[in-house]
Amino acid sequence: MTDTNLTAILYKKGDIKLEDKPIPEPGPGEVQLCMQQVGICGSDVHYWQHGSIGDFVVKAPMILGHEASALVSKLGEGVTTLKVGDRVAIEPGVPCRTCHYCKSGRYNLCADMKFCATPPYDGNLSRFYVHAADFCFKLPDNVSFEEGALLEPLSVGVHACNRGGVTLGSRVLICGAGPIGLVNLLTARANGASEVCITDIDESRLEVAKTLGATYTLKVTSRDPQEVAKQVENIMGDKAEITIECSGATPSIQTAIYATQSGGCVVLVGLGQADVTMPIVNASVREVDIRGIFRYVNCYPTALAMVASGKVDVKPLITHRFSLEDSIKAFETTLRGEGIKVMIKCAR
């Protein structure tokens, strides 16, 4: 363990710096964490390149990172569920716990959510970090720190498949084979989906999807959503029962609706333009439900169980590894679109 706290800080659009910061002390109900692994998410890169995502604007220096695992290094007052030395995955959002949404079990919708690396709250791409103890999940011995960090994106897949109703025998279309599309693929298969078709504009990502269990893959070359939907239908033999849209691209969202059977469900996961033109009458007259998701809620235990039991193998998603000292190189690699998931080792 080290007595310095090297930290990756986004000062403004395009400006990441590595600096030593004071080691934070845990308050009541919190634990100090010696960070181990942090994955780079598309949102981290977006804040770096654009300085904002929707209404969330970087107005002050912000520590990056939210896909993380750690070793408990100190306990705050009143913490009894963890002990020093515990290996944990960190659910990055801490809600107020008292509002209507929190009490009804939908804490992801809490207006006072404090989410890592979402302005104005700092993330955890550092040597040391402090977090609420009840949003840290113990890792079994057979789950690595890298796998623990990947519980964050996997939880998105769990929530999306829950919202869409993916279950035994479901026939699923996933639009977009990036990291989030791939964790939805893994989750859909683990939930018992009998067929999963996945689309993308990148053939290399589709090749990865095949190795992870995709029944069918489709490289999108047409800009006509109805034509792509017809191609999906031809491949699957019918329209999909459930479509999970992970790209956020307007044509792909349109395809998702056209490619979903009457009475089916479209889950919108990818975030693109604030205003999108959709064939809403087509969806309405065919009773196609359109549902959004926001992160995840009560999904970390499920995601952890999926990995610990061997039902889901997230390890193939990691294609690049860097040290904390090389964080800027890690971000540049992600920006170039190389590989799938870039992982940063924070511990020395």
pLDDT of residue 193: 98
Name the strand (E) or helix (H) holding 335: helix 327-335
Q: Give the angle 281-282-286 at the CA atoms, nearest 5°.
A: 110
Q: What is the mean pLDDT of residues 87-97?
A: 98
- pLDDT tens-digit readout, 104-125: 999 999 999 999 999 999 999 9
pLDDT above 70 coverage of the chain, percent:
99
If you search the block for the tokens 């181990």, which residue do you land on? 36
**What pLDDT band is residue 20 in, cutting at 50, 70 and 90?**
very high
- How far is Cα 132 from Cα 145, in angstroms, rounded to an integer? 19
Q: What are phi and psi of 332, to 5 degrees?
A: -65, -35
Whether the predicted pLDDT of 227 surpasses 70: yes
CA separation for the pair 210, 229 (Å, rounded): 20
Q: List pLDDT tens digits, range 280-338.
A: 999 999 999 999 999 999 999 999 999 999 999 999 999 999 999 999 999 999 999 99
Give the pair of three-digit tokens for residue 102: 């929190």
Q: Which residues contact 229 (CB under 8 A, 6 or more apart)?
A: 239, 255, 258, 259
Q: What whole-number distance in Å separates Cα of residue 89 and Cα of residue 151?
A: 7
Q: What pLDDT is attached to residue 80?
A: 97
Hey, is 193 helix, strand or coil?
coil
pLDDT at 2 over 60: no
Question: With bands split at pLDDT 50, 70 and 90, how would you rate the model's confidence at 1?
Answer: very low
Tell me: domain 5-138+314-345, CATH 3.90.180.10, correct?
yes
Positive or negative: CA dihedral 114, 115, 119, 122: positive
Residue 266 CB partners (closer than 8 Å, separation 6+): 242, 243, 244, 245, 256, 257, 260, 283, 288, 289, 290, 291
- Give pLDDT, residue 297: 98
Phi-psi region of 17 (alpha: psi -120 to 50; beta: other; left: phi over 0): beta
- Cβ atoms of 163 and 156 within 8 Å: the answer is no
pLDDT mean across residues, the chain:
97
Please give the pLDDT value at position 3: 65
Q: Where in the chain are the domains?
A: 5-138+314-345, 160-292
Q: What is the pLDDT of residues 168-224, one digit of tens each?
A: 999 999 999 999 999 999 999 999 999 999 999 999 999 999 999 999 999 999 999
d(CA 157, CA 179): 10
* CA-based nearest residue to 252, from 282, 279, 292: 279
Mean predicted confidence (pLDDT) in 138-167: 98
Q: How many CB atoms lie within 10 A of CB 282?
A: 15
**What pLDDT shows up at residue 348?**
85
Architecture of domain 160-292: 3-Layer(aba) Sandwich (3.40)
Calculate mean pLDDT across residues 11-25.
96
Amino acid identity at 337: G
Contact 32, 74 (CB under 8 A): yes
pLDDT for residue 156 is more than 70: yes
- In angstroms, the Cα distances linking 101 to 89, 95, 106, 111, 205 are 24, 9, 5, 9, 37
Question: How far is the C-alpha of 296 from the C-alpha of 154, rounded, in Å?
Answer: 10
Q: How many helices (H) and strands (E) does the chain have?
A: 11, 20
